[in-house]
Amino acid sequence: MQPRETVADQGEAKAVERALQRSERLLQQSQAATQTGSWEVTFDEKLSEVPGSYYWSSETYRIFGIDPSTPVSLALFYSCVHPDERAAMQAQRSPHLVRGETFQSEYRIVRPDGSVRLLHSWLNFEPAADGKTIRAFGTCQDITERNLAEMEIKRARAQLQLVADTTPALIARYDRDRRVVWANKSYAARFGKTPEELVGAHVADLVGEAAFRVVDKLSERVFAGETIQTVLEIPYAGGHRWVHAAVAPTLDAAGVADGSVVVLTDVTESRHLEQERERALNELREVDRRKDEFLAMLSHELRNPLAPILSAVQVLDHLEAGDQATAAEYRDVIARQAKHMKRLLDDLLDVSRVSQGKVQLQKQRLDLNGLLVQAVEISRPMMIEKRHELSIVLSPQPIELEADPTRLLQVFDNLMNNAAKYTSAGGHIAIVSAVENGEALVTVRDDGIGMTADLLARAFDLFVQGTPSLDRTQGGLGIGLTLVQTLIRMHGGSVRAFSEGPGHGSQLVVRLPLAPPTKPRAASPAPSPRAGPGTPLRVLVVDDNVDAAKTLAKLLELRGHEVSLAHDGPAALAAAAAAPPDLVLLDIGLPGMDGYAVAARLRAAGHAGAALVALTGYGREEDVQRSRDAGFDHHLVKPIDFGQLQRIVLEVGGRRRGGD
């Protein structure tokens, strides 16, 4: 039987052993969890490794990738250190060993499988119990993944910093007291500082109290955890700027908002562009609305003269023979209404050509007063019809201009017609010419319906008229003043409209540059007498519109000319061969062989002496040039102006008479 003390000692020893085993297990678990291995070795008096004293924990074996049954030594350890760092590690050990200093180091190892790991080591020294040897012990931790993560974080931070510093947006982080914790370069540059100089500055001191009050309204919502995106109007340098603000809270370790991050983007220019875009869209909508109104007006205006023309034709068809007075009355109706339609179409063509810059002014020296008298004569029939009282006050001296007389007649005819159109029966119209401040001045004044302030602002815009009534008593297409303004500007002048409001009449004021003074010239010899209207011509009329051809032929025959008719190209060539014409009125839009081809064939057939006149519905500059290139001598736009045709007839008759 063992003594009681021995049994107790054995029990105590077993308890200690169990405790040691438990501690060993816990140590191994903690080392595995932290990837930290431990080791120790003993050095003798000569600082050489004591054989068999080197020890590695199981985690150290795992870190180095070496089988736990492998005996370890300093030689094995150094063989595992990366070749680029091995010599430095060996040289580093001895001084610390001699002095017994604790030190740390980071180095790479190469595992047997070729993988490279980064370790962090802690090394301690202490004298052994015998007083002669030195015990070295320490730990090594595999920090490869941690180092990779740190490097990735650094890279991400560097990239984020690069983005933050190169963006034009103003980015800053504030604490709860609204002081700057961090700012990007754009934010700092806004205040003429570096990001480091801004740290600790209060936002109110940077942006001013007025701007701070606008921005700070968002703070309470942000500190409550809300992320906000909004556009703010910020007072700035006596004006204001529009800023897009994105504000988000920053959180401490407990998840409580401890500040905010603000991204500010100046959107003033883009907001202005958006406003401009909206304004442009509104203008387009207005143009579209006016276009629709114009099309409705055009339909109405073209139908208006058609109705009396058709009615007059019906009256003429049912007249008794010999009722010449009634026939003359209704022929006058047809003539007036046809002229009105022609005027509408001419205005449409002119405004298109002028707006595209396709009208070339044919300037000559002229007297403005004489031109105004002509314009009055053209417009007088409407004034007589509405019993207007007309007052004309012209400059006592001639007012000489360098201008296109046809276009200026068009300008003043438009202005006088407008005055007559918008002035009630029995109203007053006044025309005044003068020289003022070195310019020619013409005023056309009426006491008609006047203009609102809105209409005055848009009076010269295309298709603009006063508020239209259902009966359209004034008529027109709303293009006259646009044409007037463009033609006056082409002459280097200006035109303005004035009115004191509805019911108070209107006043149009035209200013034109005077012609430079000229030296007196010797009197020119009197022109030679022109051929009179009685000079008969052989005329060939070619038009596939039979009614148009017959009507034109009849007008020419009534004036004593010999007229042949043809309605297509081959018939025209045959008629010309049978009776060589002096004048050919040739429609361009013939079926099959068009007018250009017919003109070429006529010239090739020896009719070089015949005057060729193009008849067409197209009057653009390029259309006139094309007919000229095709060999035509003149270009008339349908419906043709018979006065213009008569001038051509006289010219051709004069040439024939001179040749005879």
Secondary structure element (H or E) that encloses residue 76, with its range: helix 74-80
pLDDT digits (tens, 9 = 90+) for 29-75: 766 667 889 889 888 888 888 888 899 998 999 999 999 999 998 88
Q: Which residues contact 159 (CB under 8 A, 6 or more apart)?
A: none
Report the distance separating Cα 260 and Cα 179, nearest Å: 10
Choices 3.40.50.150, 2.40.40.20, 3.20.20.70, 3.30.450.20: CATH for 167-266: 3.30.450.20
Residue ranges of the domains in the chain?
1-30, 35-148, 167-266, 282-359, 361-513, 538-659
Number of CB atoms found within 10 A of residue 390's CB? 16
Question: Distance (Å, rounded) from C-alpha 241 to C-alpha 620?
Answer: 50
Which of the four pLDDT bands, split at 50, 70 and 90, describes residue 294? low
Confidence of residue 566 (pLDDT cuts 50, 70, 90): very high
- The lowest-confidence range among 298-302, 395-399, 510-514 is 298-302
Check residue 118 and give its pLDDT: 93
C-alpha torsion angle, residues 619, 622, 627, 633 (rounded to 10): 80
Q: May I ask the CATH architecture of the domain 538-659? A: 3-Layer(aba) Sandwich (3.40)
pLDDT per position as a tens digit, 478-508 = 577 888 888 899 999 999 999 998 988 999 9
Q: Which amino acid is at 148?
A: L
pLDDT value at residue 296 = 61
Lowest mean pLDDT among 282-291, 458-467, 534-543: 458-467
- What is the reported pTM? 0.42
Contact criterion met (CB below 8 Å) for 170 and 185: no
Predicted confidence (pLDDT) at residue 424 exceeds the cutoff of 60: yes
State whether residue 121 is helix, strand or coil: strand
SS3 state at 431: strand
Distance set, CA 562 to CA 137, 319, 388, 582, 650 (Å): 135, 30, 45, 10, 15
Predicted confidence (pLDDT) per residue in 158-209, tens digit: 787 777 777 788 888 889 888 988 888 888 888 888 888 889 889 888 888 8
Asked if domains 35-148 and 167-266 share a fold, the reply is yes
How does DSSP assign 140-174, residue by residue? EEE-HHHHHHHHHHHHHHHHHHHHHHHSSSEEEEE
20 — pLDDT class (breaks 50, 70, 90): low
For 555, which DSSP code?
H
SS (H, E, C) 334-366: HHHHHHHHHHHHHHHHHHHHHHCCCCCCCCEEE
Q: Cβ atoms within 10 A of the Cβ of 487, count?
A: 22
pLDDT in tens, 520-533: 544 444 433 333 44
Domain spanning 282-359: CATH 1.10.287.130: yes
- pLDDT for residue 533: 47
- From the candidate CATH numbers 1.20.1250.20, 3.30.450.20, 3.30.465.10, 3.40.50.300, the one assigned to the domain spanning 35-148: 3.30.450.20
pLDDT at 470 over 50: no
For the stretch 437-453, what's the b/e string if a residue is b when 16 or more beta carbons lie within 10 angstroms of its beta carbon?
eebbbbbbbbbbbbbee
Residue 402 pLDDT:
93
Torsion (CA) 576, 581, 587, 588 in degrees, nearest 10: 70
Burial of 321 (0-12, 13-18, 19+ CB in 10 A): exposed
pLDDT bracket for residue 317 (50, 70, 90):
confident
% of the chain exceeding 90 in pLDDT: 19
Between 102 and 98, residue with greater pLDDT: 102
Rounded mean pLDDT of the chain? Answer: 81
Dump pLDDT digits (tens) for 343-390: 667 767 666 666 666 667 888 999 998 889 888 887 787 888 888 998
Reported as a pLDDT band with limits 50, 70 and 90, residue 624 is confident
Q: CA angle, corner 625, sides to 621 and 628, nearest 5?
A: 145
Count CB atoms within 10 A of the CB of residue 520: 5
Helices 405-421 & 480-490, crossing angle to 10 degrees?
150
To the question of domain 361-513 being in CATH 3.30.565.10, the answer is: yes
Task: State the DSSP H helix or E strand holding residue 613, giving kind and residue range, or none if neither.
Answer: strand 611-616
